[in-house]
Amino acid sequence: MSYLSPFLAHHTDSSRRILWLLFVAAIAVNAGQSVFYGIMPILGRELGFAEVQVTTLISLSALTFFIATSRWGRYSDAIGRYTVILIGSGGYVLGAIVFAFIAQMGLFGWLSGGVLYAVLLLYRIGHSALISATYPASIAYIADITTHDNRTRGMSLLTAGIACGLVLGPALIYTSYFGFLVPVYIAFSLAAAIVIIVWLYLPDLPPLSLQPVMLRFTDRRYCDIVLIGLTMFCMVGMALATISFYFQDVLQLEGVATMQHVAAAMIISALMMMVSQLFIHRWRRLEKNLLVLGLPLMALSYIMLALSTSQVGLMGAMLLFGFGFGFAKTGFTTSMSLKVPPTEQGAAAGLSASIACLGFVIGPFLAGIAYTIHFTIPYWTAALVITLLSIYTLLWMYRNDKQ
């Protein structure tokens, strides 16, 4: 039995093919993104940027995602999921080529200082605006081809695809031994092949709505879920934006060695995200409790990160983080989808994706400031906030069950 068999067992042959294609599209985009986030902190130092400049670059990129994803979700309701997915995945390939060119000019010394930073900033904003199309359209597509009963399983397949990309991307970082940008070249080559497969074989379903629907964060149907998701992703962004710096400073590593250690940690974390999705498929009773299960595990992982002074401790913390985040992320995405009717799935998918992006705007920005005070502060802060959020989520679920 293949790894994906449990995910596809409850779907028709047609929807299975679609899920496979969305799965590989998620791998392509997230592998590329994880390569970028894996090499950018250390590449930034090589190019002469300060930590705050690097985290600001990540935050502004996430701000662009936040603005664009909700719009792409609504557009997918009006122009179709297929078109929007191709825009996003194709945009990644094009943007990766541009990034490699700019970074190589910086390494050669042809661009430097403020000019190089401004060019990278403009590039990242444009690239983020394009690739932000893939995720909300994929969520909405899965909502279109699943029922209320198997929605969680469909969403967990997308999470599994993201996790596979998060395994592949860090694995590619090991090729940085041959040059800082070699992982980028390999990532966009693989992504280009996957984009062609998706273009040829993903069905172009008709739009469900001719007029895009605007959903508000404060809608009473899901405002509690918005608060839970935003807080969770802020703390994830706070921790992950500084993880490369943290590994380098705690373990006293050189640049390439840091990238390779962080890559190993991200692979372990992503593998545990995949394992968590298998748990969801094997035990249906977990489906209603994913947030309650995942958030405490995430809080514990942050405590372990803050206390760890060895490679084993750091790797163990990342393992636990991946397992907990896998549960919590799928729980959040599914909860949002189940609160709206079919004609609003694209808008809801865009909203849930934009919430994650907003977290990665706020979190890295705060992390850059906190890290300059003391390198453990981002992790202690995340541990405290996620612990409180776990209690809030438990009370929210109890109140819903009583109604």
Domain 8-203+217-402 classification at class level: mainly alpha
Integer-rounded Cα radius of gyration of the chain = 20
Please say if the pLDDT value at position 79 is more than 90: no
On whether the CB atoms of residues 350 and 330 are closer than 8 A, the answer is: no
* Cα separation, 176 vs 186, whole angstroms: 11
**Encoded amino acid at 400, one letter:** N
User: What's the mean pLDDT in 23-31?
Assistant: 87
Please say if the pLDDT value at position 155 is more than 70: yes
User: What's the mean pLDDT in 218-246?
Assistant: 88
Q: What is the dihedral of CA 285, 297, 227, 166, to 10 degrees?
A: -90
Among 46-55, 114-123, 305-314, 315-324, the minimum mean pLDDT is found in: 46-55
* Residue of 360, 376, 258 lying closest to 317 (CA atoms): 376
What's the half-sphere exposure (Cβ side, CA atoms, 13 Å) at 5?
Answer: 3
Looking up tokens 């062609």 gives 196
Q: What is the pLDDT of residue 118?
A: 92
On whether the CB atoms of residues 321 and 301 are closer than 8 A, the answer is: yes
Q: Which two tokens stand for residue 291?
A: 């947030």
Tell me the C-alpha to C-alpha distance, in Å, between residue 47 and each of 40, 56, 105, 109, 166. 10, 15, 10, 9, 25
- Residue 222 DSSP symbol: T
Tens digits of per-residue pLDDT, 308-330? 989 999 999 999 999 999 999 98
Tens digits of per-residue pLDDT, 371-392? 888 889 999 999 999 999 999 9
On whether the CB atoms of residues 367 and 237 are closer than 8 A, the answer is: yes
Among 23-37, 143-157, 205-219, 280-294, the minimum mean pLDDT is found in: 205-219
* Cα separation, 253 vs 231, whole angstroms: 32
Number of H helices, E strands in the chain: 15, 0
Q: pLDDT confidence of 1, banded at 50, 70, 90?
A: very low
pTM of the model: 0.76
pLDDT above 70 covers a percentage of the chain that reads 93
Please say if the pLDDT value at position 203 is more than 70: yes
* Residue of 39, 103, 42, 92 lying closest to 65 (CA atoms): 92
* Cα separation, 205 vs 137, whole angstroms: 12
Tens digits of per-residue pLDDT, 270-322? 889 889 888 887 776 666 688 999 999 999 999 999 999 899 999 999 999 99
Please say if the pLDDT value at position 254 is more than 50: yes
Look at 24 and 263; give whichever has higher pLDDT. Answer: 24
* Residue of 42, 10, 14, 5 lying closest to 242 (CA atoms): 42
* Cα separation, 229 vs 347, whole angstroms: 16
Question: Using CA of residue 200, residue 202, residue 208, residue 213, what is the dihedral sign?
Answer: negative
Q: pLDDT confidence of 41, banded at 50, 70, 90?
A: confident
